[in-house]
Structure 1
Amino acid sequence: MSKVHKEQETGGMALHAVQAGTPTQDAAGLLAAALKPGADYSQVVNAVEAVLQCTQRGLAGDAASYAQYQSLLLELHLPGEPRTEPTRRWMASQIYLVEDKFAPELPNFTALPVDQFRERVDAEIAARTRVKHPMSVHLFEGTPPLRDVRFFLQHHWTRSYNFYSLLAELAFRFEAIEDASVFYRNLYGEAGAESPDRSHPALLAHLMTYFDIPLSIDFARLDPLEKAYLNNRIRCVRHTDVAWGLALLYAVESVSCVNHRRIYELLQRLDVPAEPSEFHRLHGTQDEIDTEEMWNLIAKLAPGESFQRMFMQSLVRHFDINKAYFDMLWQEMQGQAIQNA
């Protein structure tokens, strides 16, 4: 039995395929035509059908189709022509429906009392945190060359610069202001409170500038697994069931202090000045408050069996994608080391 078939049988997601097939050749062209101002309804329908076929094959294990569907989905997620925004969001929502069919099945899942559910969630996060990944060990416990640090920070910028947009998306999923305010308070801090020059993207940009890392991102050139990581974050916070977005953001926020503290300590060992280091100094202390506020909101919804199941599905899927993504970065980092040896 192939690796792909085994993963499908156990409800896992096939992030790597044993055999690569041929993606839908006209999906990209049909999508481009459908997103032109003035495109008619039939063009939109033809495009979405082609993209969904590509998505289905990709999630079933076809590597070429997987890469193409992640590229097309990221194109739908990225800001574009304002007049096509409703079309792009609708198309992306149709892809989410296909992805839902490949969510982890969790065959042994049982609902728990809320306090025990948090123990289950935190145990899952602790077991699969990226702090234990070989690349993290190399960077934070070893003596990495400057080349490796710069490589890591470049990708750190790609996944971190617009974190505020995830908070904004999820806030809109909540009708009650007392629930949405959890994310608005977090957004207030992300925006720098009363000082826009202290916004978190601006602070992180100082570090990129210090290491001479371009702030512009060539999304088309990203590896399919990095696109999958970015796409999944957006998918989760836009999902109609808030369990998906809450799981994603809780997983990110709950380990934020540890991750950023490790990076800050690395920067200190490299004698990076205070201004470029400020983003990680700040995040090494304050995110615990955001985590607790978010859990209080989760606890209001957690008694339901359906919520707990979807929350855990989102969590497992996030960590599956996260591991594949970090494995890819680690392999590329090691490859660069061999080339420069």
Structure 2
Amino acid sequence: MAPGNQSGPSEFLLLGFSIFHHQQMVLFTIFLVMYTMAVVGNFSIMTTIWLDPRLHSPMYFFLGNLSLIDTCFTSVTMPKLLFTLLTGDASISFTGCFCQMFFFVLFGENEAFLLAVMAYDRYVAICVPLRYAELMNQRLCAALVASSWSAAFLHSLLHTVNTSHLSYCGRQRIHHFFCDVTALLKISCSDTSASELVIFTEGSLVVMGPFLFILSSYVAILVVILKMHSAEGRKKAFSTCSSHLTVVTLFYGTIMFIYIRPSSSYSDNYDGIVSVVYSVVTPMLNPFIYSLRNTEVKGALRKVMLEKIFSQGRRRLTNCFS
């Protein structure tokens, strides 16, 4: 991938947290803890779903994929940020910058599509429960996940190619902690009006499309729940949806604040803080949201952990007496 202007920069500087130059090690420690928790938490969810046969259902298949996406999503930006805070080296190559952008948009948009798929799964489970096994079969679940990846790939490719062909003059300073589309548009020497129009229209459609689908799914779910005569049935239905709704609120609340508005209203300081929320805080919180509010996941996690502890104990005893 080459710059649109051949005399353009060979690298960029990521200056998202450079104003906190006296707190670099404090920020490094905070982000390292958050990143570690995000990776360990999501990996634990994936491992538990894989090892426990009771969780081999469509809902947990999608949850496992969400944990995979969250792990990849936060890993696109956090290692580079941690390296910058630790060493002070804020440079990133032109190619590295746009690779980071591509994968960030890929995993971020994939999460939006997958959240819509999970809303459809809840709709079928609550609104047409007698046909759930028939409708949510393995082939359909695999097709929905594959479609999410394909759509996210095309969306990411469009924005990465579009932004990479703009002109960038000199050694450009990106006032963000990663190569974000909007941050790069701000430092481009080219006329970015066409690119902004593409991002606002196509981006809004792709981001808001899944959100409107989620909203309509939950309107239908709410109608069905309110018609239930059993208080226990309503409680159980709300319980199965609460975790997903919490994750949707966290994810879409921050995404819409950043991207669904004119570039003239961007603020480097505020946008950087909000970006931290959806790039590391949300992936860190998702495993806790699903495990704390889901008795099946909590039980499976305890079972897997206990089995691991007992197996290690048996091995140590065997080694002692051998």
TM-score of the superposition, structure 1-length normalised?
A: 0.29
Whose radius of gyration is greater, 1 or 2? 2
Larger RCO: Structure 1 or Structure 2 (Cα < 8 Å, ≥ 6 residues apart)?
Answer: 2
